[in-house]
Every structure is written in C-alpha cells, then in structure tokens.
Amino acid sequence: MLRAMDDDERPRPRPSEQKFGAASLLSGENLDSYSLDELDARKALLETEISRITAHRARAASHRLAAEALFGKAAAPAPSSPPDPFRQES
C-alpha cells in the first residue's frame, strides 16, 4: 500500500536553492542534451538576465547611497569573531 509522504519526509531544498531559486538549479544542469542553437538561445537568455540583475543592483546601490547620505553611514558590520573580553581598548 502506498502512503503519501509527510512534509517532514520530503527532500528539503538546499539552502542555495531557497535563496536563489531557479538560478541555483541551472548551475548544476547537464548540458549534454542541448543543441548548439539551444545553447546559444540559453546563453542569450542568461546574458539578458545578468543585465537585468546588474541594473537592479545599480538601482539598489544608488538607493543605499542616498539613504546613507540622508541618515548617515550605516553601522560597521559585525566582526567575524566575538570580541576578546581580555583585550584592552586603546
């Protein structure tokens, strides 16, 4: 008798798949079955997507710079390791 899989039993997407969606799946896809024309079309589509991402990133960077100019520079990023409690501040 077959039973339905509970959500807990289903394979979970890798963290990279959750964050980047379909782009993560493309990076590991086998390309052997594609013709040269299909590879060219795929490459053109991906180049268009890269251009779209680049333009969006530029707009986001511009917004961030405007916010930093208006509200002051954001706080420094957190250190990669916890501060040493025994280190004397200079």
Examine residue 86 and state whether it is found in any structural domain, yes or no: no
Q: Give pLDDT tens digits for 56-86.
A: 999 999 999 999 999 987 655 555 666 665 5
**What percentage of the chain reaches a pLDDT higher than 70?**
61
Examine residue 44 and state whether it is found in any structural domain, yes or no: yes
Examine residue 62 and state whether it is found in any structural domain, yes or no: yes
Buried b (16+ CB within 10 A) or exposed e, 8-37: eeeeeeeeeeeeeeeeeeeeeeeeeeeeee
Q: Taking residues 2-20, report their average pLDDT.
A: 61
pTM over 0.75: no
Q: What range does the domain containing 57 cover? A: 35-71
Split at pLDDT 50, 70, 90, the class of 23 is confident
Examine residue 76 and state whether it is found in any structural domain, yes or no: no
Examine residue 16 and state whether it is found in any structural domain, yes or no: no
Q: Taking residues 26-52, report their average pLDDT.
A: 94
Examine residue 6 and state whether it is found in any structural domain, yes or no: no
Counted domains in the chain? 1
**Do 25 and 17 contact (CB within 8 A), yes or no?**
yes
Examine residue 50 and state whether it is found in any structural domain, yes or no: yes
